[in-house]
Structure 1
Amino acid sequence: MSAESTSVEGASPAPRRLGRYTLGTRVGEGGMGVVYRARPDGAPSDGSGDVAMKVLRPHIAHDPDARLRLAREVTTLSRVSSPRIAAVLDADTEGPAPYIVTEFVPGPPLDQVVADRGPVSGEALVRLGRGLSEALNAIHRAGIVHRDLKPGNVLMVGSDPVVIDFGIAQVADDVRLTMTGLVMGTPGYLSPEVVEGGAVTEATDWWGWAATLAFAASGQPPFGRGPMAVVLDRVIRGRTQLEEVDPALRPLLAAALDPEPDRRPHSDEVMRALELYAAHRPVTEALTMHAPRPRTEQAAPQTSLTPQAQQTRVQPVPPTPQTRVAPQQVPLTAPALSPDAASGPAPYGAPQAPYGGPGQDPYANPSPYDTPDRFGQPMRRPDPRIGRPMRSGTLATALVAVVGLAALVPLLAWGLLAIWSVLARTVDHSVTSLVLRRHEAGRRRSDVPLAVIASPWHLFVAVLSTGLAMLLPIAFALAATVITAGGLTAMGVASLGVEHPVPVAVGTALGTLMAWWGPGGLALRRGSRTLVRAVLPSQIASQIVATLLLVGGVALLAWMVLDGGEVSWWPTTWTDAPFSDLIPQTLRP
């Protein structure tokens, strides 16, 4: 087959014709290829018969692995038949310019829709969740895991989603792809098991469903933005950023985005919770423990989700129209659903009161294990720390106070920071242990005695982990102090030594941030938030303390900078201790 080249709007030179198709405008691109709107020979000139053609990029067109991946996509798509999936119509994986032809979906991707019109809400959000679930059910019935469900792979025809791009999809009876899928995927929308090369199951796609819905509902990636390594670390640790999501929907998305696949709700639980959300009922009523999965669903790399399909031929699918007609546009930001909106079926177990509200003991509610679910298994509830106030403002003002204190007495500031780190990690280890124990066996009278008995061990682990975790922040703080002092002196701003309050304050601030976000910081962050919520249960108390910390920290820093003296290295020496003239002589060494 010959390929005639030309230049296509905004694209690099590409074949003008491939097979019986004439290429038009470029409508998308990815790591492997470029997608064009194309017209088959004999199709109407009004565009009603146009198709979408994905053509491999020239520099990888002759790569056998790339051709194999394109052939995999053809085989994958050919096994799926659903109005929520862009159907495959034709393909050529052996020619000089390999391509795949699918039906043309006349709609923009979800990420573009959200960027143009803002987050999706109300009935439109529920409709999006239902449509994506229909697509996933069709995919899974064919024994396929998409693995890369994300806003860019969801085209919106009005308010109805259509899923595209099966480039890294996995057929259940194929050998599992490894890190190649990671390279092709999008950080923040690759599930933890895909990132780590683990076993991929249907739960992987429901994780992608939750990540996509979280983006649609908030306009923000569910794991934030930043360098790839940072985002992937958040994914692996389950550090979601769902603050902008409707609080009524947040527990469902948080549960579905759990880094452990076995702890995520089943697909029927997910949809039951979505229908409860549509009916303005607590989604937690549907988040119950599911029955143990059959061995065939445990996602061993070579275990089928459905009866094995032939590897050597493509299964036929019913004819699919080549073009979808875009319906009248429905606003994506719909009014709030009415209380009498259509509701889903009754929950599996008895309704359960919300837990973990502000000012409440997260374990003071009746046991969620009193009522079995429909499988006869004890009901579970997720970690009670999920969805509670983050106290980020209070913790930020605490950082200001530490920096101000470090400008006066750095060793004391770092000592207090180390003590706080040990306490926070001890609390986090204790609470996590209790959550896991109650998750496995339910609420028991022995919980508190066991927590007390295990507290010395948790303290030991916290001391050890804090000692190791503080090495890098301290080294970083020392380096930042020296660089700041040298940089200000070299630029002629001021002649400062390393013992001046300004370089010490800068080094402390950067070192503290490294301790908070660096290696081992997860336990510190969770434990700190738990401690602050326990000590300051009310919002008013938290605001008062935050104000005092902020004012105190700024006042100390300003006083030391204006004074122009050097910091005190107390308690290693008493000669320069702050306010030493107020210390009685008998108490001095």
Structure 2
Amino acid sequence: MTAEILDDPSGREHLPEHAVLGRYRLVQRLGEGGMGVVHLALDRQGRAVAIKVLRPHVALDPAARARLSREVDTLGRVRSPRVAPVIDADIDGERPYIVTRYVPGVPLDDLVESQGPLDGDALHRLGSGLAEALDAIHGCDVIHRDLKPGNVLVVDGDPVLIDFGIAHVADDVRLTMTGLVMGTPGYLAPEVIEGAPVSRATDWWGWAATLAYAASGRPPFGRGSMDAVLTRVTAGDADLSGVDPRIAPLLYAALAPVPSERPHEREVVTALERYARGGLVTDVITVRPRPTAPATEALAVPRTSVLPLSRNPLSRNRSRQPIPPVAASLAPATQPQQALPDTRPQQPLPPTLVGAPATPAPATPVPTTGPPPGHELERTAYPQAPAPSPQGAPGSPGEQQVDPRIGRPSRSGTVAALLGLLTATAAVAPVVAALGLLLWMVLARTTDRSVTSLVVRRHEKGRRRSDVPVAVLAGPWHLLVGTVSAVFGAVMPAVIAVAGAFCAALAVVASRGSGSPQPDAFLPLAVGGALAGLLAWWGPGGAGLRRGTRSVVRGLSPGAGGSRVLVLLLLVAMGAAVAVGLTQGQPSWWPMTSPWADGSLLP
């Protein structure tokens, strides 16, 4: 098919039947997303393939071509029957496309929705099959980073992992230095939400969340706004009420917010196997630390630097570089599908060089089916237009957009210095400290809402020129909502601060053995201020405050040098507050008077 036939000013393709694109005859549109369309096609030998084609307006974006190129390079590294391999690609042409094996399966989310949750052997086959896929891609220094039910196809009970459009490659420096691509809320690991780099543990957490979905029939962290879902993820607030009680503790443990508290994936697979046989699963779980080093550390491994990326045949000349196709054949549509054989290796698959060309998976391929002329294809893995994100289809624009908060430095030292300043100020000027904390909560929450709103907008509609004007116009609304949420969020820290000051005053009296409690003294006020700051940070609704605070401090002090200067200034301010307190001899309640001045509030 020529580029002229494919072009459409509206950005949507209206393909005539049996149109031709390169060496492939397009048979039927299988699905589409905001960035592209996936077609079922036949090659010159009549074998069925899936072709992902970028939309005309998206193809003009160099970043979109770079993502498609990265997907080709990523799939070229992996050898596994649980991963749909790349067969051919044209990245530099007027209409870029990528050709992968056609997987005649059903998306896991559609399967669960139509047939109900999985249990027993079905759940074990899903877990062990996806574990095999992750072992294979991790063995090639690749992090999928968007493992979710919609990216898993089920063929006769066995899973195939698809859509490597936002995968993270160990030696892919250029595409990862400016920030990480946002995954799917609800399946994005909590440590990544908090700012940690992606690692293998990122995929294993998404694997556990996908298993929880399959076992319960609903997202483990619910639905709703992205901010609400991410808050539940970071708190470990998983809803597993629909999961079989025999394996619910197993999945709770695998979804722990702290990576070191999660059981090893082999233990989870073993427990699922025992569950499938009707045995107990809790006695095989042993929580132990797992390595959480980011995948980017693999840059130092010699095998990733033996050949430059440009040595890959697909990278050197993408315009016409077919890869040996898989041995798939067309059969009547009524032919039953053959299950993928279980070829799970005892050890991780051997890694391949960056420059190695993609070859078929070393296993008996799944026979594919093509629709006879004049007949529609059966309902399979690919939702019909305009359903979102089928196999290999570029997802909605948001799945490819950058969230500037993810993967950035958490600035823990700066945050600790802020807490120290709050504590010191609370000891010498408690009212000023309380007002300062409240104003900071308003600023941080407003910033977080603004950034989150922009990410959600791009997640749903893609990057647009109107993003900044819309963000500016929405600023007053974000300020209002941030102020209201900060006021309500400050109630509990204020109560705990007062209670903490009284307890500290009583502890001082107990240590002296005589006297009356003085909650308005330096030490009790400092304790109260510290408790208020810690509860605001880690208490209910603290996720927005944490994200917003880190965004603000990164903006105030860009780079490592700026961070050191800001920490130094905060330490100087803290020392000044202590000096003022020592000079005046007692706390200042300006612009108020001490509520304990007349002793009426003392116990």
Matches within 5 A, 1:258-407: 258-290=256-288, 293=291, 298-299=293-294, 301-304=296-299, 307-308=303-304, 310=307, 311-314=309-312, 320-322=326-328
C-alpha displacement of 1:194: 3.7
Aligned to 2:163: 165
Q: Deviations over 1:408-429 (max 9, x none)?
A: xxxxxx9xx9699859x99xxx
In structure 1, the residue matched to 2:13 is: 13
Question: CA separation in 2, counterparts of 1:305 and 1:145?
Answer: 17
**Residue in 1 aligned with 2:150?**
152
Cα distance in 2 for partners of 1:267, 1:467 equals 34
**Matching residue's letter, 1:132:** L
Give the secondary structure class of the aligned counterpart of 2:296: coil
Which residues of structure 1 form unaligned runs of 5+? 44-48, 332-344, 346-413, 427-455, 470-514, 523-589
Q: Is the 8 A contact 2:50 2:99 kept in 1?
A: yes
Report the CA distance shift for 1:170/1:195 in structure 2 as closer, same or farther (over 3 A): same
Following TM superposition, by how much is the alpha carbon of 1:329 offset from its aligned partner in structure 2, in angstroms?
Answer: 8.0
CA distance in 1, matches of 2:191, 2:100: 29
Once the two structures are superposed, what CA deviation does each residue of 1:411-459 show, in whole Å capped at 9, x if it has no partner? Answer: xxx9xx9699859x99xxxxxxxxxxxxxxxxxxxxxxxxxxxxx9999
Aligned with 1:312: secondary structure?
helix
Partners of 1:11 and 1:330 in 2: CA distance? 37
Q: CA deviation at 1:137?
A: 1.3
Once the two structures are TM-superposed, the CA of residue 181 in structure 1 deviates from its matched residue by 4.9
CA contact (8 A) 1:143 1:171 kept: yes
Structure 2: state its 5+ residue gaps.
315-322, 340-345, 347-487, 501-523, 546-603
Q: CA RMSD in A?
A: 4.1
Aligned-pair CA distance for 1:520: 7.5
* Cα deviation, residue 262, structure 1: 3.0
For 1:65-104, list aligned pairs within 5 A. 65-104=63-102
1:252 positional shift = 2.1
Alignment match, 2:532? 464
1:38 match: 41
Secondary structure at 2:159 match in 1: strand
CA contact (8 A) 2:493 2:536 kept: no
Matched residue type, 1:177: T
CA contact (8 A) 1:23 1:36 kept: yes
d(CA) in 2 for partners of 1:268 and 1:281? 17
Native 8 Å contact 1:109 1:151 kept in 2: yes
The 3 A distance-change label for structure 1 pair 151 and 180 is: farther
Aligned partner of 2:285: which letter?
L
Q: State the distance in 2 between where 1:272 and 1:92 align.
A: 42
Counterpart code for 1:303: A
Q: Which residue of 2 aligns with 1:121?
A: 119
Structure-2 change in CA distance of 1:245 and 1:329 (3 Å): farther
**Mapping of residues 176-575 of structure 1, within 5 Å:** 177=176, 181-183=180-182, 185-290=183-288, 293=291, 298-299=293-294, 301-304=296-299, 307-308=303-304, 310=307, 311-314=309-312, 320-322=326-328, 422=496, 460=528, 464=532, 518-519=541-542
Q: Is the Cα contact below 8 Å between 1:105 and 1:324 reproduced in 2? A: no
Return the alpha-carbon distance in structure 2 between the equivalents of residues 461 and 283 of structure 1.
Answer: 46
Matches of 2:122 and 2:230, distance apart in 1 = 30
Distance 1:458 1:116 in 2: 58
Cα separation, partners in 2 of 1:468 and 1:91, compared to 1, 3 Å:
closer
Greater shift after overlay, 193-202 or 145-154? Answer: 193-202
Shift of 1:327: 8.3
Q: CA distance change for structure 1 residues 250 and 321 in 2, over 3 Å: closer, same or farther? A: farther
Q: 1:31 to 1:6 in 2, by over 3 A?
A: closer
One-letter identity of the residue aligned with 2:12: S
Q: Give how far 1:247 is off.
A: 1.8
**Relative contact order, higher structure (CA 8 A, sep 6+):** 2
Percent of aligned pairs with the same amino acid: 50
SS in 1 for 2:311: coil
Tell me the TM-score normalized by structure 1.
Answer: 0.53
Residue 30 of structure 2: SS of its match in structure 1? strand
What is the CA-CA distance between 1:323 and the residue it aligns to?
A: 5.9
Per the alignment, do residues 199 and 268 of structure 1 end up closer, same or farther by CA in structure 2, a change over 3 Å counting?
same
Q: Secondary structure at the match of 2:273?
A: helix
Give the letter aligned to residue 30 of structure 1: G
The number of equivalent residue pairs is: 354
CA contact (8 A) 2:119 2:276 kept: no
Residue 209 and residue 216 in structure 1: after superposition, are their counterparts in 2 closer, same or farther (change >3 A)? same
